[in-house]
Amino acid sequence: MWTTIALALTVLFIIFYKAALRPPCFPPGPFALPIVGSIFSILPSPKESFSRFQKKYGPICSYKVFDNWSIIVNDPALMKPLLADPVFSGRKHLYLFSLRDEVISGEKMPLGILGTSGDVWKNQRRFTLRSLKDLGFGRNSIEPIMQKELEDLINTFSQTEGQKVDVGLTFNSSIINVIWAMVIGKRFSHEDVRLLELVDKVNKMLQSFNPFHPAYRFPIIKKFFPNLDVYKSQDTYMRQLLSFIEDETAQYEKELLADESSFSYIRAYLKEMKEAETEGKETPLNMHHLKANIFELFLAGSETTASTLWWAVYLLASNPDVQKTIQKELDEVIGEDKLPTLAHMDSLPYTTAAIYEVQRVADLVPFAVPHETTEDATVSGYRIPKGTTVMFNLSHGLKDPKYWKYPDRFYPEHFLTEEGKPYKPENFMPFGSGKRVCLGESLARLELFLFFATLVHRFSWKLSDDPIVWEKSIVLSRPPRFMVEISNRNSNAVF
């Protein structure tokens, strides 16, 4: 009897000991239990917990999510070389991506760019960057597309004078239209119900996704309980979104043959794919990757920019002095009868600094998307085995009091030199950095500038005295819900 108990206790001890045991020379961090890992040290409020870890364990620490070790890197000086290192640029097949890939192809093979590593990632990313560049990413050929969207927005907003408005994601359809124009070569009317529904779904999908949920970590649970709520909503939205993309692509494939003059990402992709097929050449391009890439352009390109503009309105409305200073600069440089154009980008230092400051305060994607080591590696004397999940806390460089005079305020002067020129410190990486830097960075910059400058030049934004409500979201940081009063200024200005 005593022997049995002693034996059982020994076995238990070994199980707990093994679970808590870090790999040799691994970064320090919170305690880990069998099965659940450090999850109880992280939940219920990951934000506060990680802040505590950072204080206790330093710029690089480790924790265990269920049965897998992860590390998180905080110091931008440490982060930059790692983000540039191919060994730290791998990616795990994350739940949302594997769900998508199975819906698209019926197989587990990783598709697209965001969720892939190695050659698949390199090939799809290279093609996509090249063709988007040809389409005017980072150039002024998308300016008329954005101006068309802005004219619509101006119409919408000028009709709300005297009312309290929840700006919310009003920008979502405009931003989606810009992406859609490049991807597929057409725009939706703002009344198009399908578009609004789609936006709503993507939104709900991101909002309801909690990467720490065990259901997403252990695929086996899904085998036995496929109808759990946590799966159902993601599954439904994913399928609907993909079937929308599929319908549009199919229709476009037909139109493509008819219209030689049209110009879009899908067209470029199909063209290169078909040419390779006719010539009997090997090509990394195929329909499955195409659908996955469209999904990503759409997801990564719309939500983020629309939310940043939403933050911008919140910050402008709650900082009337900053708003006035921007308006003064715009009136002086552009004139009261003109709206801004991309050509003004380099002659508006304060406005430029204010946009950087919006991105800093918004801190939209605090941890980027998790990376994974593709080989064993060494960082500041720690050994990081192949296959370790690596999180980069981009938030650190944007928010830590080490780097900013007023980390919690909206203070555009953070980004101005003493001579009043805009400048970006090294630790400011709202789009990430290195090998996995955001593919849409140049488009996003142009959009943020033109939408921001136009809306501040054309309207004044005032926070109403209604309550401001903060909502919780784990993946993307959202501005609060608030009501704003919009008044016309420079009503006669045109592009």
Ligand X SMILES: *[C@@H]1O[C@H](CO)[C@@H](O)[C@H](O)[C@H]1NC(C)=O
Residue numbers in the known binding site for heme are 438
Cβ 350 vs Cβ 418: under 8 Å: no
Cα gap 366→352, rounded to integer Å: 22
Q: Which residue has the tokens 């802040």?
A: 51
Interaction pattern, residues 114-153, with ligand X; x per rule: CB under 6 A: ----------------------------------------
Nearest by Cα to 362 from 324, 404, 313, 321: 313
396 binds ligand X (CB under 6 A): yes
> Could you tell me the sign of the dihedral formed by the alpha carbons of 258, 261, 267, 269, in that order?
positive
Instruction: Answer yes or no whether residue 400 interacts with ligand X by CB under 6 A.
Output: yes
H or E, element range at 124: helix 118-134
Site for ligand X, residues 206 to 225, rule: CB under 6 A: 217
DSSP state, 16?
Answer: H
Out of 82, 169, 294, 368, which residue is the one contacting ligand X (CB under 6 A)?
Answer: 169
Residue with Cβ nearer ligand X (167 or 273): 167
Q: Candidates 291-299, 388-396, 422-430, 446-454: pick the segment binding ligand X (CB under 6 A).
A: 388-396
Q: Which of 22, 190, 222, 481 binds ligand X (CB under 6 A)?
A: 190
- The continuous run of DSSP H or E covering 379 comes out as strand 377-379
Q: Is 196 in the site for ligand X (CB under 6 A)?
A: yes
Q: Which of 23, 86, 168, 335 binds ligand X (CB under 6 A)?
A: 168
Closer CB to ligand X, residue 196 or residue 345?
196
Q: Report the C-alpha gap between 289 and 337 in whole angstroms.
A: 46
Exactly one of 45, 68, 251, 491 binds ligand X (CB under 6 A); which one? 68
Name the segment binding ligand X (CB under 6 A); options: 36-44, 64-72, 226-234, 479-487: 64-72
For residues 439 and 433, what is the distance between their CA atoms, to the nearest angstrom?
10
Check binding of 50 to ligand X (CB under 6 A): yes
Of 492, 490, 489, 483, which Cα lies nearest the Cα of 166? Answer: 483
User: What letter would DSSP give residue 23?
Assistant: P
Whole-number Å distance between alpha carbons of 70 and 88? 13
Output the six-digit token pair for 66: 């269920």
Residue number, 263 or 403, with CB nearest to ligand X: 403
- C-beta of 172 vs 249, nearer to ligand X: 172
If residue 378 lies in a helix (H) or strand (E), which one and from where to where? strand 377-379
**Would you count residue 64 as binding ligand X (CB under 6 A)?**
no
Q: Which stretch binds ligand X (CB under 6 A): 47-55, 240-248, 254-262, 443-451?
A: 47-55
Q: Is 399 in the site for ligand X (CB under 6 A)?
A: yes
Could you tell me where the DSSP H helices lie in 319-384?
A: 320-334, 349-362
- Binding-site member from 67, 161, 375, 466 for ligand X (CB under 6 A): 67
Q: Which stretch binds ligand X (CB under 6 A): 46-54, 205-213, 261-269, 373-381?
A: 46-54
Min dist. Cβ of residue 11 to ligand X (A): 21
DSSP secondary structure, 233-248, as one string = HHHHHHHHHHHHHHHH
- Work out whether 393 is an interface residue with ligand X (CB under 6 A): yes
Q: Is 249 in the site for ligand X (CB under 6 A)?
A: no
3-class secondary-structure state, position 487: strand
Round to whole Å and give the CA distance between 394 and 415: 17
The residue of the chain with the least Cβ separation from ligand X equals 50
Among 60, 72, 132, 446, binds ligand X (CB under 6 A): 72
What is 191-206 written as a DSSP string? Answer: T-HHHHHHHHHHHHHH
Work out whether 173 is an interface residue with ligand X (CB under 6 A). Answer: yes
Specify the residue, 97 or 252, whose C-beta has the smaller distance to ligand X.
97
